[in-house]
Structure 1
Amino acid sequence: MHGIELRDARVHYGPLEALHGITLAAPAAALTVLLGRNGAGRTTVLRALAGTVPLSAGTVVRDGRDITRRPAHERAAQGLCFVPDRAAVFSSLTVAENLNLAARDNAPALDTYPELRPLLSHRAGTLSGGEQRMLALSRAVLSKATVILVDEPTQGMSPSTATRTYALLQSLDACVVLAEQRLPPGLRKGAGRTTIVHELRRGEIVFSGEAAELSPARSRYAPE
C-alpha cells in the first residue's frame, strides 16, 4: 500500500518500553491522526516513522518497502518531513532564511500564513509559539515532502489560525500524520479527505478507524 506503516514496532528508552509491538498504517490518501494524552506514545510513533529513534523490534514500511534501517537523513532526502513539537525552526536564522532553506519561492507560505510577511526579517527564535508553528509548517509545505509528520501542529495558534491550518493539512498532496491530544472538531466530519484515527494508551493501540467512528464514549480524549 502507499503511505507509511509501523509493523509490530517496539521502542525502548533505556529499560522502559515506550511502544509495545504496535501495528498501524497511515495511508497516503487519508489524513492520519494519532490520539492520546502525553506519555501515550504518539510522539514516539512519529519519531519511529521519521527515524529519529530506533526500533528495538518490528519494521517501518513506506510505500511497501522496508525502510527500518534507513537513517533519518536518508528518509528526509527521500521526501519525509518531520515537524516536532519543539525546536522545529532554526531559531538563530530569520524567518526569510528559514523559508529559503525549504524553497527559493516562499510566496505559497506567505499566502497561507500572511502573518509571517511582516516578520520576514525577524529571527525565528523571537517569534511566539504560534508563529513558530506557522513557520515550521510553512517550511514543510514548501519542501513538497510526500510524507509529513507533525507533532501538535496548532500548538499556540489562535482558533481561527488553527482552523486554517487543519484545512491546509487536509488539502496537501502528501501522506500526512498528526499527533494530537484531542481530535479537532473539523477533522471528525470534515469535508476534506478521510481522516483515520489511531488512539494510543501506554504504548498500545486501543482504537483504529475512521474519525467519524470515534465516539466520546470510546475515547475520553475526543471532544464531547
Structure 2
Amino acid sequence: MRGGIELRAARVRYGPLEALHGVTLAAPAAAVTVLLGRNGAGRTTALRALAGTAALSSGAVVRDGRDITRRPAHERAAEGVCFVPDRRAVFSSLTVAENLALSYPAGDFTRALDAYPELRPLLRRRAGTLSGGEQRMLALTRALLPTVEVVLADEPTQGMSPAVAARTYALLTELDACVVLAEQRLPPALREGASRTAVVHELRRGAVVFSGEPGELSSAPPRYAPE
C-alpha cells in the first residue's frame, strides 16, 4: 500500500479571511479518509491545500513523510496526486473521448469505460453538455489510472444516481491508493462494515472538531454550531 498524506498546523487565507485555522489531519494509505462538514466548514479548502491549489500561509503538507508544501499542484499531479474538484473538473469544450485521451494517452479507455459504461455512448459528446452526474463519472476516470497514488475527490458522487454512487464508492475503496473524500455527510458505504477502513475528520468553521472512526460519530446529523 502506498504512503499517506497529511496537513500539519495548516493555515489558509483568502484575502483577509482565514479559512483553515491551524488544521492538523492525517489521511493514512490503508484507509479511505473523509473530510466531513457542511459548506463553509473548510473541507474543500483542506482538500485543495493537499492538492496544492490552495497555498498555505503557514504549516505544512506532508506526503509519505516528505514535506511537499512548496511543490506546486502540477508537480504533485505528476507525482501521482489526482485532484477531482467539485466544479470544472472536466474540459467542457472537449468531447468525452478527448477528455479521456488526456488521461489515457495510449488511447485505451477500457478501464474507464468498464468502470462507467454509461460513458460509452457519449464518447463523441462535448463534456459540457453532459449531466452533472455524467461529468462526475468522466472526471473520476482519472483516479483509476495505475500511476495515481493519492486521490483527492470533492463530493465525488454529486449528481449520480444511488446505484452509480454505490458503484463509485466501491471503486474508490478498492483502489491501491490513499483516498481522501470531502463530503457533507458520511456515505453509507463507508460506515462500519465497509470493505476498507474509513477515517473521519469533521471540520467546522476551519477547524477539526472530531477525528476518528465512523462508528464513533453520533448517529444524529453532524454536529454544527449555531450560526
How many residues align? The count is 221
Q: CA deviation at 1:113?
A: 0.6
* Map of 1:181 onto structure 2: 184
* Map of 1:206 onto structure 2: 209
TM-score (ref. length: structure 1): 0.95
How much identity, in percent, do the aligned residues show? 78
Deviation beyond 4 Å, 4+ runs, structure 1: none
Judge conservation of contact 1:102–1:140 (CA < 8 Å) in 2: no
**Structure 1 position 62 matched with structure 2 position 59:** no
Judge conservation of contact 1:145–1:174 (CA < 8 Å) in 2: yes
Provide the secondary structure at the position in 2 that maps to 1:38. coil
Q: CA deviation at 1:48?
A: 0.4
Judge conservation of contact 1:98–1:139 (CA < 8 Å) in 2: no
In structure 2, what is the Cα distance between the partners aligned to 1:116 and 1:143? 20
Q: CA deviation at 1:212?
A: 1.9
In structure 2, what is the Cα distance between the partners aligned to 1:202 and 1:146? 29
TM-score (ref. length: structure 2): 0.94
* Map of 2:25 onto structure 1: 24
Q: In the TM superposition, what whole-angstrom CA distance separates every residue of 1:109-143 from its partner, at most 9, and x where no partner exists?
A: 11111100000111111100000000000122136
Judge conservation of contact 2:82–2:142 (CA < 8 Å) in 1: no
Q: Which stretches in structure 1 are left out of the alignment for 5+ residues?
A: none
- Structure 1 window deviating more from structure 2 (12-21 vs 185-194): it is 185-194
Provide the secondary structure at the position in 2 that maps to 1:2. coil
Q: CA RMSD in A?
A: 1.4
The one-letter code matched in structure 1 to 2:199 is I
* Map of 2:38 onto structure 1: 37
Provide the secondary structure at the position in 2 that maps to 1:28. coil
Q: CA deviation at 1:218?
A: 7.8
* Map of 1:51 onto structure 2: 52
Q: Which stretches in structure 2 are left out of the alignment for 5+ residues?
A: none
Provide the secondary structure at the position in 2 that maps to 1:170. helix
Judge conservation of contact 1:34–1:200 (CA < 8 Å) in 2: yes
In structure 2, what is the Cα distance between the partners aligned to 1:53 and 1:187? 27
1:55-134 aligned within 5 A: 55-103=56-104, 104=106, 105-134=108-137
Judge conservation of contact 1:106–1:142 (CA < 8 Å) in 2: no
205, 215, 218: which one aligns with 2:218: 215
How has the CA–CA distance of structure 1 residues 88 and 174 changed in structure 2, closer, same or farther, with 3 Å as cutoff?
same
Provide the secondary structure at the position in 2 that maps to 1:20. strand
Q: CA deviation at 1:215?
A: 1.7
